[in-house]
Chain A
Amino acid sequence: MSSVAVDRQVEQFRDNFRIVRDEVSRVIVGNDRNIVGIMTCLLARGHVLLEGIPGIGKTKLVQTLADVLHLKFSRIQFTPDLMPGDIIGTTVVREDESGRKHMQFQRGPIFANLVLADEINRATPKTQSALLEAMQENSVSAGGQTHPLEQPFFVLATMNPLEMEGTYLLPEAQLDRFFFKLKMGFPPADALHDIIERTTRAQDPVVERVLGQGQILQMRDTVRSVPVARPIQQYAIDLTLATHPESERATEMTRRYVRFGSSPRGTQALILGAKVNALLADRLHVACEDIRAVALDALRHRLLLNFDAEADKVDSDAILSDVLHRVAEPQ
């Protein structure tokens, strides 16, 4: 592949990305950053956890994205009585025309390209764990058989940070499998005007399917092709190590408030997210600023804080901001 082809590929990537973003923005207002974050996760072969108060458009965002992308979409409403089989499917006894009975695997809603796990923290940890294999291995094991999931496979989970009644905290292993954890804040006043105008008319805005499965897979390959220089990679590692309280690179705040730091998946998320960021900036290399741009989304759910942090009302974002401030770029 020549340099010209690379440039064209990058250009194509940026165009596709822009088209999707513009199309989603027709429905979703004031959430460009989250739209980019979700797209980044999709293109980096990750999954995203959306956290926000009720009514700010989490589910709407995911539904709109599913409408824009020409992908198979399924929605799972997580409830306390939801069972793992309700997600991955179950083996049922079938009788054919000749009257012979045989076992057949009935695929669950997880067999889709775009899975919306709505209010994921309302299901029990047992049910939440049903997603573990699917999210990491892109396959489902049931009835002694492993069923691969069709690519792209993308899980978008939403959760409400306010309600504690009838909810279950996500296990650390489950959290670690999410590429990004995005926080959806309350939209600003001017964005609220747009939201009201768009959602209170006779007809809701309609979006078109602008990106197909093949294009998305191609964009995923493009992301993986972006080279990363060793010093930049070292910076991502330094950031990750700085979140470990026992590490030499740990900051004062980390030592005080963090119980466990980020896993290597966090570093992977940093690099892959930075690659998407670099492509969007029309660069063929990853810069330190790309890593800093995705650091909060990629690491905030991977830090396990201790009691002191809760007592002092220190959250992961504050610790990561301190880490970003103190960890120097490699010289």
Chain B
Amino acid sequence: MTQPQQGATPAAAQAVLLLLEQVDRRQRLNGLLYAVTLLAGLALVAMLVWRLVIVFNRAAPVATALVVLTGISAGIGLLLLLGYGILNYHGGLERAARHADRVAGLRDEMLSALYFARSAGGAWIDAQLQRAAADARTLNCARLAPTRVPVRVLAAVAAVALLVLLSWHLTPMLSAVATQPEEASTGLTPEEQQQVRTLQAVVAQAPDSRTARALGAGLDAVTRKDASEEDKRRALARAQEAVEQGKLEAASAREGMYQLGQRLRGQKGMEEVAQALAEGDARKAAELLERKAGTPGAEGAGGRAGAEAGQRAREKDLERLLQEAAQAGGKSETGPTPSSVAMKEAVDRLNKIASELEVQGTMSNSTKLLQQLQLAVAQRSTMSAGRFAQQAAQNSSPGNESGNTVMPGGKMFRSGAVAQESERSEQQEGSKAGEAQGESVADALLGQQTTPLAVQLKQEALPQDGEPEEKSSEAWFYAESKEQKSALEARAVQARAAFAQAQTTPPEAISVRHRRTVKEYFMHLREGAQ
């Protein structure tokens, strides 16, 4: 205990100091409890974050990030609160005296008494100490400084503890809630999911095919939850393009087989093979050729023959192989000759073609499903809708058949107001005119400024001699009005100027006139590479 200075009334000073030390001890205990409560709160927050991260981790990355962020913020807040409490903790009897004065309404009596107890005495100081001691004896220390944690801190920690308990016991429910968005996050309806599964089964049948790989990549993009609608749409478009390319290649192969069959038709012993080839049945042609060679298949040939066949496959086409096989005329007695090897190789090539055609046939069956899926994704894609609107705004040339108007006297075809073209230009490609994506309303006849038909047209009667008066109403037609004629002529002048402008400064640096040439060049280049 702090000893009072000489001069001060010892008993009175002792009473005051005793009270203040008790209050100080209780305040220290309260401070300790406060710190422990904050640390417990910190631990509870960490536990809560851990539980929520477990629940949300895989299903909802955003929720997980939010939980972690909130947890870190709460932790930092609690640590700051704790640090603030530690830094601002001024223990000691002075603080206890001020606390006692404030709580008991003593108006600095204990603070003054504490100071007087440590200083030199005097009559007035002794008197003050005795008064303070009398008040100190009446004070209940437990009431002055009750052992407790601030209610707000306790309530906050209790709330966090409750949340931890809830998160512990309701984890299955939370997991269900959290995984629900996972399924929904792919954005596919059950029907579309079924389509995807069907397409995936098709891909699984020929996983090594280039078309199958492209289709598989598209399906992966569709089922990936972090892929945007635009990504899905592009991936499906690529898959669609690969399927279409495969169909083209299959058609090309059938055409090649047909022509090959026609050429082999006259050769001896190859009639049945030629017939099978002409029918496009590569598998049957291979079987016939195999039967003719008397060999069980390409796999039955020796290692040397296989290696040689691999080498020749890169050098000769199928027709030459078949012609060589035809010249061999059947079995060889002395082992594998070049002709027999060519026959085996022809069989292998035909089998391979047959396999590719079968795969392609399977893929072709999936085209409809793929188109349906592509359409569903495209309808959800806001970007495609926006691009479509942009295209519609840029290219205001409507289709030839749209915008026809039924009016008295017949049907007003809008061809008078729309430039007729033998075929659609590239600018019209992908526009709303007749495209699958576009079901838009046709533009006004003359663009944004719509001129009434009564102004554009004038009725002209056909002079028909001898006809009765009442029938003359049918002998008239719509002709171009003068105003309309002038407007079209002016537009033609403007169009020529615009065309000249486009010729000189096209945005792609390719003039309109040469675009088709350039496109064809690259298309042929691509075919040549294949």
Point out residues on A near B: beta carbons under 8 Å: 1-3, 5-7, 225-232, 281, 283-289, 329, 331
Do the beta carbons of B98 and A288 come within 8 Å of each other? no
Contacts of A5 in B (CB 8 A): 123
Asked if A284 and B127 sit within 8 Å, CB to CB, the answer is yes
| B122 interfacial contact with A, CB 8 Å | yes
Q: List the count of A-B residue pairs having beta carbons below 8 Å apart.
A: 62
B225 at the interface (CB under 8 A from A): no
Complex Cα spacing A303 to B113, Å: 33
B125 at interface by CB-CB < 8 Å = yes
Within the complex, the shortest CB–CB distance from A202 to chain B, in Å, comes to 48
- Complex Cα distance, B285 from A156, in Å, reads 136
| Cβ contact within 8 Å between B115 and A284 | no
Contact of B127 among A7, A230, A329 (CB under 8 A): A7
- Expressed in whole angstroms, the Cα–Cα distance for A6 and B126 within the complex equals 10
Q: Are B116 and A229 in touch, CB under 8 angstroms?
A: yes
Contact between A3 and B107, CB atoms less than 8 A apart: no
Cβ-defined contact, B107 with A287, below 8 A: yes
Max count, chain B CB within 10 A of own CB: residue among A226, A227, A289: A227
Q: Are B108 and A232 in contact (CB under 8 A)?
A: yes
Say whether B107 contacts A227, CB under 8 Å. Answer: no
Instruction: Check if B95 is an interface residue, CB within 8 A of chain A.
Output: yes
Q: Nearest 8 pairs between A and B by C-beta?
A: A229-B115, A285-B112, A1-B123, A3-B127, A287-B108, A229-B112, A284-B128, A6-B127
B115 CB, min distance to chain A CBs, angstroms: 4
Chain B residue numbers with a CB within 8 Å of A331 are 90, 94-95, 98
Q: How far is the CA of A289 from the CA of B107 in the complex (A)?
A: 7
A223 to chain B, nearest CB (A): 11
Q: Please determine whether A286 and B127 come into contact, CB atoms closer than 8 angstroms.
A: no
Chain A residues with CB under 8 Å of B100's CB are none
Determine if B109 and A283 form an interchain contact, defined as CB atoms under 8 angstroms apart.
Answer: yes
Which residues of chain B from 144 to 165 have any CB-CB distance to chain A below 8 Å in the complex?
none
| Residue B111 CB within 8 A of the other chain | yes
Instruction: Scan B105-147; emit 1 where CB is below 8 A from any A CB, else 0.
Output: 0011101111110000011111110110000000000000000
Other A-B contacts than A3-B127, A285-B112, 15 sampled, CB-CB below 8 A, are: A3-B123, A6-B123, A6-B124, A227-B122, A231-B108, A231-B111, A232-B111, A281-B107, A286-B112, A287-B107, A288-B108, A289-B107, A331-B90, A331-B95, A331-B98
In residues 412-466 of chain B, which contact A (Cβ within 8 Å)? Answer: none
CA distance A6 to B107 in the complex (A): 20
Alpha-carbon separation in the docked complex, A55 to B124 (Å)? 44
- Measured CB to CB, the nearest residue on chain B to A5 is B123
Residues of B within 8 A of A7 (CB): 127
A281 vs B130: C-alpha distance in the bound complex, in angstroms? 17
Q: Establish whether residues A227 and B90, one from each chain, have CB atoms under 8 Å apart when the complex forms.
A: no
A230 to B112, CA, bound (A): 8
Q: Are the CB atoms of B108 and A229 closer together than 8 Å?
A: yes
Residues of B within 8 A of A228 (CB): 112
How many angstroms between the C-alpha atoms of A227 and B94 in the bound complex?
Answer: 18
Bound-state CA distance A3–B122 (Å) is 10
User: Whole-angstrom distance from the CB of B114 to the nearest CB of chain A?
Assistant: 8
**A331 to B: closest C-beta gap in Å:** 6
Chain B residue numbers with a CB within 8 Å of A283 are 107, 109
**Do residues B109 and A285 form an inter-chain contact, with CB atoms below 8 A?**
yes
**Separation of A241 and B107 alpha carbons in the complex (Å):** 23
Say how far A330's CB is from chain B's closest CB, in angstroms. Answer: 9
Interface residues of B in 222-277 (CB under 8 A from A): none
CB neighbours of A1 from chain B (8 A): 123
CA distance A261 to B312 in the complex (A): 110
The answer to whether A285 and B98 touch across the interface, beta carbons within 8 angstroms, is no
Give Cα A150 to B116, complex, Å.
35
Asked if A230 and B123 make an inter-chain contact with CB atoms under 8 angstroms apart, the answer reads no
A287: which B residues are within 8 A, CB to CB? Answer: 107-109, 112
In Å, the complex CA distance between A226 and B111 comes to 15
List residues of chain B with CB within 8 A of the CB of A288: 108
Residues of chain A lying within 8 A (CB to CB) of residue B123:
1-3, 5-6, 225
**Residues of chain B with a CB closer than 8 A to A229's CB:** 108, 111-112, 114-116
A142–B237 CA distance with the chains assembled, in angstroms = 115
Q: Using CB atoms, name the residue of chain B closest to A235.
A: B108
A291's nearest neighbour on chain B, judged by CB, is B108
> How far does the Cβ of B129 sit from chain A's closest Cβ, in whole Å?
9
Centre residue among A7, A226, A285, A329 by max chain B CB count within 10 A = A285
In whole angstroms, what is the CA distance A227 to B108 when docked? 13
A331 to B108, CA, bound (A): 11
CA distance in complex: A44, B131 (Å): 24
Q: Output the least CB separation between B413 and chain A (Å).
A: 83
Expressed in whole angstroms, the Cα–Cα distance for A249 and B68 within the complex equals: 43
Complex Cα spacing A289 to B127, Å: 21
Cβ contacts under 8 Å, B115 to chain A? 229-231
Which A residues are CB-close (under 8 A) to B122?
227
Separation of A7 and B131 alpha carbons in the complex (Å):
10
Q: From residue A327, how far is it (CB to closest CB) to chain B in Å?
A: 15
Which chain B residues border A231 with CB–CB below 8 Å?
94, 108, 111, 115
Q: Closest residue of chain B to A230, judged by CB?
A: B115
Q: A4 to nearest B CB, angstroms?
A: 8
Please report the C-alpha to C-alpha distance between residue A1 and residue B124 in the assembled complex, in whole angstroms. Answer: 8
